[in-house]
């Protein structure tokens, strides 16, 4: 349940709360002249680059990432490796989720947060507090292929009194096209009692210095993509600037409640066991592993004809190395016309389909021994594009 590096956490003694960039000497790829991406004022003055407060490590010098000019978000570029692509010859959703995790952790490390695996603040360590994931929502409009360069921008914001959130925007670096977006919600837990706890003012003051004080907006020169929501669509022959939040639409998919999946489910994969490689540095099953478990119970005919566009996971309990997990999947109640599918036993079952031939499914991961919920999920699938 724990994501390495935490949601954002806050600074330790190595960070300069005055806003100094800890590692400014980062190697950068040259930007295409046609690409224009800039942060929009959030009502706060833009800070000028300052002298380094300490010597960057070799990893920091080689990493293709840095803070934005205002110091309130972080961008990093990644090259898609051959071992990160799947049967579609494009990056898998697990690859995307791992990159989101990586850029979030690098952001926390870049501004000087602790590297103990929890990215905690001084106050959090004092009171034995850690961040845990409550919800993760990812939308992918175009999957990058092997050797594509992806640029990811991320930032954190306060989420009421009980937690925080981290958002991401993913772009094709060569074109500037928005190819995905994601958001996550985090809550604070006492590491000893395993009970949730409100975020204290002491902790909030430590990490909010690196967070926008109002909802983050971006100006993005965007090449339209047919898979994006209507808000993002554009004529492919033109580019334009638009102001947007990561998820500006009212009642957007990231906010939808996920109903509990009824049993028996249409499809199931039982007896899943965490591998040693699935454990993170905190000895818990890593968040990305849950995505793979959810997909294990998807019917093969859907995997063959469709690709994942949206996934939402609500995390309800931690999963340990010795746990045995069942993955359940059923089509979500109709959102439009119905298309024929089949149950695992061969009997017909209807899969929900909208006017664009997108399918929606509900998912449940539970402990095999007592049925306790690990997480609930929802996925949306679109028809696969022509082969690249």
Active site amino acids: 282, 284, 319
- Which of 306, 47, 76 is closest to 171 using CA atoms? 76
Helices (H) and strands (E) in the chain, counts: 6, 17
Is 21:49 a contact under the CB 8 Å cutoff? yes
Is 298:361 a contact under the CB 8 Å cutoff? yes
What percent helix, strand, coil does the chain show, rounded to 5?
15, 35, 50
Is 305:337 a contact under the CB 8 Å cutoff? no
Task: Give the length of the chain.
Answer: 388
CA angle at 290 for the pair 111 and 318, rounded to the nearest 5°: 75
> Which H or E run includes 76?
strand 74-79
Distance CA 196, CA 194 (A): 7
Is 138:311 a contact under the CB 8 Å cutoff? yes
Distance CA 92, CA 95 (A): 5
Neighbours of 9 (CB within 10 A): 29
- Which of 16, 35, 6, 8 is closest to 221 using CA atoms? 35
For residue 246, the SS3 value is coil
Is 311:304 a contact under the CB 8 Å cutoff? no
Beta strands 373-383; 149-159: pairing state: unpaired
Q: For the CA atoms of the chain, what is the radius of gyration?
A: 21
Distance CA 368, CA 222 (A): 46
């Amino acid at each position: 349940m724990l994501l390495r590096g935490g949601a954002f956490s806050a600074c330790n003694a190595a960070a300069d709360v005055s806003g100094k960039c800890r590692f400014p000497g980062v190697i950068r790829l040259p930007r295409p002249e046609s690409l224009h991406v800039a942060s929009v004022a959030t009502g706060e003055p833009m800070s000028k680059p300052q002298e380094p407060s300490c010597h960057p490590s070799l990893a920091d010098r080689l990493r293709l990432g840095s803070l934005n000019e205002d110091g309130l978000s972080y961008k990093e570029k990644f090259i898609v490796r051959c071992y990160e692509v799947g049967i579609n010859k494009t990056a898998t959703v697990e690859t995307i989720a791992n990159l989101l995790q990586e850029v979030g952790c690098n952001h926390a490390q870049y501004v000087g947060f602790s590297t103990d695996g929890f990215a905690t603040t001084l106050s959090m360590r004092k009171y034995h507090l850690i961040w845990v994931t409550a919800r993760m929502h990812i939308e992918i409009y175009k999957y990058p292929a092997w050797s594509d360069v992806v640029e990811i921008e991320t930032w954190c914001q306060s989420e009421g009194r009980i937690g925080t959130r981290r958002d991401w925007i993913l772009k094709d670096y060569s074109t500037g096209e928005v190819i995905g977006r994601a958001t996550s919600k985090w809550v604070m837990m006492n590491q000893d009692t395993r009970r949730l706890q409100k975020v204290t003012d002491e902790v909030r003051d430590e990490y909010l210095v690196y967070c926008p004080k109002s909802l983050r907006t971006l100006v993005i020169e965007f090449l339209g993509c047919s898979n994006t929501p209507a808000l993002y669509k554009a004529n492919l022959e033109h580019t334009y600037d638009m102001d947007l939040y990561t998820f500006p639409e009212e009642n957007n998919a990231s906010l939808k409640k996920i109903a509990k999946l009824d049993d028996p489910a249409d499809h199931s994969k039982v007896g899943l066991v965490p591998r040693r490689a699935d454990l993170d540095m905190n000895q818990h099953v890593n968040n990305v592993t849950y995505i793979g478990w959810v997909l294990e119970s998807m019917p093969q005919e859907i995997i063959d004809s469709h690709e994942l566009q949206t996934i939402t996971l609500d995390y309800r309990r931690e999963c340990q190395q010795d746990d045995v997990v069942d993955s359940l999947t059923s089509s979500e109640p109709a959102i439009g016309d119905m298309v024929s599918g089949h149950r695992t036993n061969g009997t017909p079952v209807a899969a929900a389909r909208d006017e664009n031939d997108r399918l929606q499914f509900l998912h449940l991961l539970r402990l095999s021994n007592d049925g306790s919920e690990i997480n609930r999920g929802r996925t949306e699938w679109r028809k696969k594009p022509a082969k690249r």
